[in-house]
Structure 1
Amino acid sequence: MIVIHGGHFSSLDGFYEEVSKVLMRDTDWKVGTLDGFDDILYGGFGVFENKEEIEIIWKESQKSQEDLGLKATQEFYENKIKQGKPFNRELIQQKLNDLTEGKGQTLFEILVEIIESHTNITLTLS
């Protein structure tokens, strides 16, 4: 069982630090992107093996849902648009527009979707 504690962070960077601490213990590699987070969930490095059945409990997930909600997601996309390359500005602008229109996903929803896409992982939000 792996515990992500929403009380330990209030931003996406803080989330990355938390999951690096709990999933990548005793390694030099740290999570720093959504793709990187997805990669470590395949296992084989860090605290569990490839395709090993694991349970992730996300404590204080309601706090995380608020912290990584609409405002944080808007800032995330706006920063990528400002940064430009290597990011696809048009795609990110569309994601920002979708979010503003109530059709897009928040960072919290994206993270949950990433976890749930791994069939060997059971996620419990508490």
Structure 2
Amino acid sequence: MFFSLVIASFVSATGTALIAAALHPSLQFFSGAFAVALGHVVILGLPIAAWYYKERGWLPLPAALIGGFLGGAVPLSYFMRPIDLSVLMVMGGLGLVAGATFWLTLKLLDALPSRSDAAEP
């Protein structure tokens, strides 16, 4: 499971950084966006996903999407005064992409049990 989480973290950070770098195509911007995305995944995403997985035994797609959106939008809203809703939505959207990519990677690696497997004691 640990190996799957590491792979999913790097894939989700890379996907998010590629989308962000498409707005400003340069290697420096991509590397900065990758560092920020990976930091969000490691500091915010992994602890939340691990807690949810421990409590429920599985991580549904809606939980990954909501967690990703909040992980992208909330840190920026803490520092931005006044809050610009359009920037908040863009950052939340990037977080949403990261959450979806994280979940899809875990699903493709068969690291997420099915609901019926999680319900069994």
Using the size of structure 1 for normalisation, the TM-score is 0.28
- Relative contact order, CA 8 A, sep 6+: which one is greater? 2
Q: Which has the higher strand share?
A: 1
Q: Which has the higher helix share?
A: 2
Using the size of structure 2 for normalisation, the TM-score is 0.28
